[in-house]
Amino acid sequence: MQALRYHSFGSPGDLRLEDVPPPEPGAGEVLVGVRYASVNPVDWKIAAGKFRFLVKHGLPRTMGSDFAGVVTHVGSGVDGVRPGDRVWGFVDPFACARGTFADFCAVPAKSVFPLPAEIDLRDAAALACVGATAVTLCDLAQVSSGSRVLVNGASGGVGHVAVQLAKARGARVTATASSPRREFVASLGADEFIDYERAPVETWPGGFDAVLDCVPSLPRRTHRALLARGGHYATTLPDAATFLLDPIANRVGPIRRHGVMLAPSAPAMAELLGCIRRDLLRCHVEAEFPLARATEAIERSRSARVQGKLVIRVA
């Protein structure tokens, strides 16, 4: 099979499309014939060496974490999944060296979810990781009907899904993006728009029940001014303070801070599918690339200018 792999950290030029033997599913794993994958910034950040101390199983590594495809084999101890099933999900890019930019990927059964026939494989691959992240952000920030929500980075992969999920939950959403993205963000259902390039964060309105920082780029010193008392700030990129300071500060402080620790979640995937069926959610795909041109998609992602998602057509 073909797989996009790298043999050292730090150089994007090390990415190579290689012929390698297909993996065999171990106990508790499912072998998926990947039809589509998609690009997430964490994939190329790991390859660049930014998280090398968190990465398990060494080198070489195959790029990619999202997938949608068809089950070909199941390992021992796996129930409820059969060859021929359409599935979607994502692997942990820190723990799994065998990523999804490949013809086949051996995936832990807990990370494989059934995909209804009416949901397109390409859309599912684009949505999997960013969708689960957006649901987790909304859960951490307790977004519900009547919540006033600020989504920072509303035109990106996670952000554009978070806007739609918050609206589906009945929230009133203020979205931040650059001026050229105003029309796109409005089409997602945002009620108000902030051009972050023209309006410094110190001038933004406050009193939000939830701030979903999807870039993330909001300094800690700004959180209190943006949030109502008892409000929740949730970020896609936890830092040391998330683990060392916030558990204590959240008990006594006027606001609550949370960081996403993403894990497979059947309720999250069910919420995403439910929103799609009710026509409340669409994952915007900016562009599609064949596996042979996946490095172009990665370079586009590195520009930080992607509107929605980039998908990789594997088969």
Burial of 95 (C-beta count, 10 Å sphere; 0-12/13-18/19+): exposed
The two tokens of residue 76 are 């021992």
**SS3 call for 305:** coil
Question: What mean pLDDT comes out for the span 91-98?
Answer: 94
pTM equals 0.96
Q: Which of 30-34, 55-59, 179-183, 284-288 has the lowest mean pLDDT?
A: 55-59
Cα distance between residue 165 and residue 131, in whole Å: 9
Cα distance between residue 111 and residue 69, in whole Å: 13
Confidence of residue 51 (pLDDT cuts 50, 70, 90): confident
Q: Which of 17-31, 38-52, 82-96 has the lowest mean pLDDT?
A: 38-52
Q: Is residue 12 scored above 90 in pLDDT?
A: no
Angle subtended at Cα 188 by Cα 184 and Cα 192, rounded to the nearest 5 degrees: 85
Q: Is residue 220 scored above 70 in pLDDT?
A: yes
Cα distance between residue 312 and residue 315, in whole Å: 9
Q: Which residues pair with 210 in a beta bridge?
A: 149, 232
* 8 Å CB contact between 82 and 245: no
**Can you give the C-alpha Rg of the chain in angstroms?**
19
* 8 Å CB contact between 288 and 313: yes
Q: Which of 8-17, 56-65, 101-110, 219-228 has the lowest mean pLDDT?
A: 8-17
Q: Is residue 164 scored above 80 in pLDDT?
A: yes
Confidence of residue 125 (pLDDT cuts 50, 70, 90): very high
The two tokens of residue 298 are 């990665």
Confidence of residue 13 (pLDDT cuts 50, 70, 90): low
Cα distance between residue 147 and residue 159, in whole Å: 17
Cα distance between residue 129 and residue 174, in whole Å: 23
Confidence of residue 53 (pLDDT cuts 50, 70, 90): confident
Q: Which residues pair with 29 in a beta bridge?
A: 108
Mean pLDDT score of the chain: 96
Confidence of residue 10 (pLDDT cuts 50, 70, 90): confident
Question: What mean pLDDT comes out for the span 244-254?
Answer: 94
Cα distance between residue 43 and residue 300, in whole Å: 13
3-state helix, strand, coil in the chain (%, to 5): 30, 30, 40
Angle subtended at Cα 157 by Cα 301 and Cα 49, rounded to the nearest 5 degrees: 45
Burial of 115 (C-beta count, 10 Å sphere; 0-12/13-18/19+): buried
Pairing of strands 309-313, 285-290: parallel
Predicted local distance difference test score (pLDDT) of residue 129: 97
